[in-house]
């Protein structure tokens, strides 16, 4: 009964986030977003049978806090709230890395026969992350900085503190994805929902990066962005949420 109630609240909140996409943020939307993962984190903690489960529940709760804070900083304009959200997500990522590494014995961590699909996933994640960091640290001219400052949805051209924080964040995502996939293959000898979950998480963050990068693109591609941006914006939350649920199912099972 308790499990049914928890996932009913979680799924209802997540669906509400999707339905109200064009209206957000509105009063109470941060609470709704928080309710998508916070009850699942509490459920995970109550049903924890090991240190790995307890650490995972705290990681999930930090992601729920990050979701709420990100909802509060409308269009990334409130830099302190955005940095707080990034720090919450970063803490959750590092806890995920610890969870996956605790599941993976050191003696076998570096001598595994990696499936080719794992190598492909890691390579794609690495290339996308490097492209994002290059764009993040690229010098911004005065004309483009003025245009990016007028675009409230872009954090390119930001200050040193923001760039360092985002660099650490992206590095943590790469570590989390690689550790999750290696741990998954080691335990199950095949790709399961855990790998799918971490890949979907990376896709959702890549979509967020694209939406932020869009403000620094040339006007020649504006027609393409006008088509892709709404699709990316609509897909970001469901992909992220399903990724978190897939990882939860795998870990708690």
Distance from C-alpha of 65 to C-alpha of 44, rounded to nearest angstrom: 16
CB 179 within 8 A of CB 187: no
CB 34 within 8 A of CB 62: no
Residue spans per domain, the chain:
2-252
Furthest C-alpha separation in the chain: 59
Query: Which pLDDT belongs to residue 189?
Result: 55
Q: Is 78 exposed, middle or buried (0-12, 13-18, 19+ CB in 10 A)?
A: middle
Distance from C-alpha of 68 to C-alpha of 81, rounded to nearest angstrom: 10
Distance from C-alpha of 191 to C-alpha of 77, rounded to nearest angstrom: 39
Mean pLDDT confidence for 61-84: 82
Distances (CA, A) of 112 to 24, 63, 96, 107: 45, 30, 21, 10
In tens, the pLDDT along 29-72 reads 999 999 999 999 999 999 999 888 999 999 999 999 999 998 88
Sign, CA dihedral 236-84-101-37, equals negative
Mean pLDDT confidence for 11-36: 92
Find which of 11-20, 66-75, 156-165 is predicted with most confidence, using mean pLDDT. Answer: 11-20
In tens, the pLDDT along 207-234 reads 887 776 655 444 455 666 677 888 888 9
In tens, the pLDDT along 119-132 reads 777 787 788 778 77
Long-range contacts of 44-53 (CB under 8 A, 24+ apart): 44/248, 44/251, 44/252, 46/2, 47/252, 51/102, 52/99, 52/102, 52/103, 52/251, 53/251, 53/252
């Amino acid at each position: 009964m308790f499990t049914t109630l928890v996932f009913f609240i979680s799924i209802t909140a997540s669906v509400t986030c999707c339905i109200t996409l064009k209206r957000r943020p509105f009063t109470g939307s941060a609470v709704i977003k928080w309710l998508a993962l916070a009850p699942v984190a509490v459920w995970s903690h109550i049903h924890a049978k090991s240190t790995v489960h307890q650490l995972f529940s705290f990681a999930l709760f930090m992601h729920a806090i990050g979701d709420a804070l990100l909802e509060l900083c409308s269009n990334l304009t409130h830099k302190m709230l955005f940095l707080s959200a990034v720090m919450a997500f970063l803490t959750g990522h590092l806890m995920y890395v610890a969870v996956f590494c605790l599941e993976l014995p050191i003696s076998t961590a570096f001598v595994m026969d990696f499936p080719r699909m794992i190598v492909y996933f890691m390579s794609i994640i690495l290339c996308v992350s490097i492209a994002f960091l290059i764009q993040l640290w690229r010098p911004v001219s005065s004309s483009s900085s003025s245009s990016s400052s007028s675009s409230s949805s872009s954090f390119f051209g930001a200050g040193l503190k923001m760039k360092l924080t985002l660099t650490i964040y992206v590095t943590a995502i790469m570590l989390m994805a690689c550790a999750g996939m290696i741990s998954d293959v080691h335990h199950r000898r095949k790709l399961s929902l855990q790998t799918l979950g971490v890949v979907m998480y990376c896709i959702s963050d890549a979509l967020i990066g694209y939406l932020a990068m869009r403000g620094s693109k040339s006007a020649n591609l504006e027609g393409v962005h006008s088509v892709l941006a709404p699709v990316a914006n609509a897909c970001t939350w469901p992909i992220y949420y399903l990724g978190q649920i897939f990882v939860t199912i795998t870990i708690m099972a």
